[in-house]
Amino acid sequence: MPRLHPIGTVREGVAGHMTERLVVIGGDAAGMSAASQARRRRAADDLEIVAFERGHHTSYSACGIPYWIGGATQGPDALVARTAAEHRARAIDLRLGTEVTQIDPERGRVRSRDAAGTEQWTGYDQLVIATGAVPVRPPLPGIDAPGVHGVQTLDDGEAVLRGLGREGVRRAVVVGGGYIGVEMAEAMLRHGLDVTLIDRNEQPMTTLDPDMGRLVRDALEGLGVRVVSGTSVRAVLTGDDGRAGAVATDDAEHPADLVVLGLGVRPQTGLAAEAGLPLGAHGGLLTDRAMRVLGTGNVWSGGDCVEVLNLVSGAMQHIALGTHANKHGRIIGINIGGGYATFPGVVGTAVSKVCDVEIARTGLKESQARAAGLQYVTAVIESTSRAGYYPDAALMTVKILAERRTGRLLGLQIVGREGAAKRVDIGAVALTAGMTVEQMIGLDLGYAPPFSPVWDPVLVAARKAADAVAADSAAG
C-alpha cells in the first residue's frame, strides 16, 4: 500500500492573502509555458506552482530529435529550451520523475507517484493538463524487440544513437512516411545507412495530396532512399539475438539492423478520460477558446493532448506541434495569471524537409476538403524561389485549393528547394483572414531578384486558381 501524503490547497500567505496553487501535469512545452507565464504575472506568495513530470527533462524540443540523431544539431542538452534548474529558480516546484496517476476533479487534487514509489495527493486551485501525445505503436509481432525505436523523447534519441553505434549497422528501415519518417530517413542517410522507408499509403507524406507526395517520393528516391509504399508492415522479424533483423510487409521482407517508427502520435489522455473530462473524436481533450477544459471551471489543457479547431474545415483536429503547444501554454498562463488570451484555432500549417527538399502545407488537402463538405478547384504551378536569372533560383511546385464559386483559399502545398517552405506562411495568413485567391493576386509581397521572381510563386498559383474558379463558375 503506497503512502499518501495529503497537501492542503489554499494556505495563508503574507498579510492574510490567500495563496492559490496551480498544479501542472507534464513538464514540456505547454505545461511549462503555462507555468512560466502564470509565474510572470503572479508572484510566489500569490500563486504556488507545482509541476509534475514523469521523465527527466523539461521544455525540450521533440521536433529537434531527428536533427540531433542525424548530427545536424547538438543534443540532448541543446534541445532543452529551459532546464529544470531554470524553472526552479523561478519558484516553480518541479517534480521530475514523478508521474501523476489520477486526477480527482471533484476534490480538486491529483495523485502522484515519485521514482521511489511514494504516492501522494496534491490539491489544486487551478490544474493544467499537458500530458502530450504518445507515438502510435501498432501491436505487431516483434514491435517491442530491441532495435525498434520510437522518436518522441530525448531518451528515444539516445537509444537510436546507441543503436547506430553498434557494430555492423548498415541498413535502416523507417516505418511511416510522415514528417518524422522523412526526417528520420534523412538522419539515417547522414549516418551513411542504406535506408528503406515503408508507408502503407500510395505516396509518403500524406499530409499532402498524392500528386504532391509523389514529388517527395521522387526526392527521397533521388537521395537513395528505397521507398516502399502501398503496403502494410505485418511484423518485425527478430534474429537469434532477439534483436530486430527485418521488417515484414504484406509481400516482402526488408532487412533492418535498425527500425525507426514514425507512425504519428495520439493524444495521451487516459488520466483525463478516467477523470470524466470531455474527449473529442480524435481522443484529445476538448477546451474552450481560452483553453479551459469544457465543463470545468479551473482545469486547463493545451499542447499535444488537446484537439484544436481547424478554421478552414470548421472541424476539430488533433495536431501535435511544438508551436501550438507553446501558444496554448502561454494562453493558459495568461488566463490563470488574471489576464485574457484565447487560441483562435489552426489552419493546419506544417513545414519539413528531407535533405535539401522543402515540404510545406497549410489549410486543407483534397480529401480534407471533401470530408468538410467543401467543393473546390485546384491549380498546380512550377516556379522559382528567386528571379529566374538569379543564381541558385530553385524550382518549386505550388498547389492551391480554392472553393468553388467563392474562390476562398482552402489550401496551399509547396514542395521545392531552398526558399520554398516558409512561403507557406503567406497562405497561412491568407487562410486566417479568409481571403479569396482573387484577393491574393493583389498581395503586396516582398520582391527583389535574390528573393523572388517578379510574381511570387504563391501569386502565380493564386492567379491560376482564380482562373480555375472563374472557368468552373462559367461552366455552372
Identify which of residues 121 and 455 has a Cβ nearer to a second copy in the complex.
455
- Shortest CA distance to 88 belongs to which of 130, 123, 53, 113? 53
Determine the distance from the C-alpha atom of residue 245 to the mean position of all C-alpha atoms in its chain, rounded to a whole number.
30
179: which 3 cell numbers?
A: 514528417
Give dist(CA 352, CA 62) in Å, integer.
14
Instruction: List Cβ neighbours of 252 (8 Å cut-off, separation of 6 or more).
Output: 228, 231
Q: How far apart are CA 467 and CA 476, in angstroms?
A: 14
Q: Catalytic residue among 7, 44, 63, 273, which?
A: 63
Minimum CB distance to a second copy smaller for 103 or for 459: 459
Which parts of 212-371 are beta strand (E)? Answer: 226-229, 233-238, 244-249, 253-255, 258-261, 265-267, 299-301, 308-309, 316-317, 350-354, 357-363
Q: Which amino acid is at 409?
A: L
Strand ranges (E), 107-203: 109-113, 119-123, 126-129, 133-135, 148-149, 171-175, 194-199
Work out the widest C-alpha separation in the chain, in whole angstroms: 76
Collapsed DSSP state (helix, strand, coil) of residue 145:
coil
Q: Which residues make up the interface to a second copy (CB under 8 A)?
A: 29, 61, 63-64, 67, 72-75, 78-79, 81, 179, 321-324, 326-327, 341-353, 358, 360, 362, 387, 389-391, 419, 421-426, 428-430, 432-433, 435, 439, 441-452, 454-456
Shorter beta-carbon distance to a second copy: residue 215 or 347: 347
Q: How far is the CB of 62 from a second copy (least distance, A)?
A: 10
Closest approach of Cβ 439 to a second copy, in Å?
7
Q: Which is nearer to a second copy, 27 or 64 (CB)?
A: 64
User: Is 355 a catalytic site residue?
Assistant: no
Quick one: 245 or 322, whose CB is closer to a second copy?
A: 322
Which residues are catalytically annotated? 63
